[in-house]
Amino acid sequence: MRLAELSERSGVPLATIKYYLREGLLAPGRQINARTAEYDEEHLRRLRLVRAMIQVGRLPVATVREVLGHVDDDSLGRPIRLGAAMWALPQAPEPDEDDEYVQAAQQEVSTLLDRLGWENAKQLTTISPAYRSLVVAVAAFRRLGYDWGAELLTPYAELMHRTAVLDLDNLETHPSEAERIEFAILGAILNEPVLQALHRLAQEEESTRRDGFE
């Protein structure tokens, strides 16, 4: 397809597509002549991914370029490609290692991982943004006087493990490795808000079921 058709099918303005091409977010098309290039379904899929990352995920162009660089690096295995791409997304601030609440939270999270038997997760604690985000959140709870520790977190973590199994099962339904990685990136941007919304709807449903409308 030509650039005009790519714009029409994707709903992305022509000028925006040209900008993405200049910024390296979209691979060049197959050159037909000096002035014309041809694009395919891979370009259409990538364009939709870029659009979701920028419009829905509110990611800056530099971050999108970094994430896509990891997605396209087929010299690496999937866990490393996926991990690097996910870690390039915006993350929680670094925990203050000297903060007593952070230290207590680190201990609780370590206890949690031991309870769950998540040995692989324990090996990644020094580099994993997800680990740091959890520590920051648990520390914030403890600072406010809530004992949000390993015992309370365990059933939530077990539910999240079931969710992760569903995520990876869905991942395997996509035919190519690039599509699987892209699906995982979209999941981080789009699926997490879906899960958050479902969580809140479930809370509303259960609260009303227990207490009724007032």
Predicted local confidence at residue 201, as pLDDT = 94
Third-level CATH fold of 3-87: Multidrug-efflux Transporter Regulator; Chain: A; Domain 2 (1.10.1660)
Q: Where are the domains of the chain?
A: 3-87, 100-211
CA contacts within 13 A on the Cβ side of 180: 18
pLDDT in tens, 136-180: 999 999 999 998 889 999 999 999 999 889 888 888 888 877 777
C-beta neighbour count of 152 within 10 angstroms:
14
pTM, to two decimals: 0.69
pLDDT in tens, 18-39: 999 999 998 888 888 877 889 9
* DSSP characters over 39-103: --HHHHHHHHHHHIIIIIS---HHHHHHHHHHHT-TTS-HHHHHHHHHHTS--PPPP-TT-HHHH
109 vs 115: CA distance, rounded Å: 10
Instruction: Supply the DSSP symbol for 7.
Output: H
